[in-house]
Amino acid sequence: MDPCIFCRIASGELKTDFVYADEFAVAFRDIQPQAPLHVLLIPRTHVASLAEAGDEPLLGHLLAAAARTAATLGLTDYRVVINTGPQAGQSVFHLHLHILGGRTMAWPPG
């Protein structure tokens, strides 16, 4: 059994409603939303973090897919966050882009 929870979501082993999906990435709602709309976009392939993602075409695709996902959700104003490493708040070690929207965002983030 693959121990990576996001791999299991991406493969369909764990039944999850995707708000966006394409050949390389899927997006689904965060289980602990930090905004009225909070979606995670992940690559289908396992990449532990941004620091280990050397695949520039994939990274470009994920950013474009994040914009498509936000548009699908009807968001015009949103924040995209990639926590990288435990000190930055990364808790799941499968690369993911947080897409947050539906409220006014503070800056700087905590």
**Active site amino acids:** 96
SS3 75: coil
Q: Are 37 and 99 in contact (CB under 8 A)?
A: yes
Please, which residue, 65 or 95, has the CB nearer to ligand AMP? 95
Structure tokens at 15: 């039944």
Q: Smallest gap, in angstroms, from Cβ of residue 77 to ligand AMP?
A: 20
Query: Which of positions 28-57 make contact with ligand AMP (CB under 6 A)?
Result: 30-32, 40
Please, which residue, 57 or 66, has the CB nearer to ligand AMP? 66
Q: Smallest gap, in angstroms, from Cβ of residue 92 to ligand AMP?
A: 4
> What is the rounded distance in angstroms from the CA atom of residue 95 to the CA atom of residue 72?
21
Burial tier of 104 (Cβ tally within 10 Å: 0-12, 13-18, 19+): exposed
* Region near ligand AMP per CB under 6 A, out of 17-25, 26-34, 57-65, 68-76: 26-34
Query: Which of positions 82-101 make contact with ligand AMP (CB under 6 A)?
Result: 83, 89-92
Burial track 8-46 (b if 16+ CB lie within 10 A, e otherwise): ebbeeeeebebbbeeeebbbbeeeeeebebbbbbbbbee
**Binding residues for ligand AMP, how many (CB under 6 A)?**
10
Binding site for ligand AMP (CB under 6 A): 5, 30-32, 40, 83, 89-92
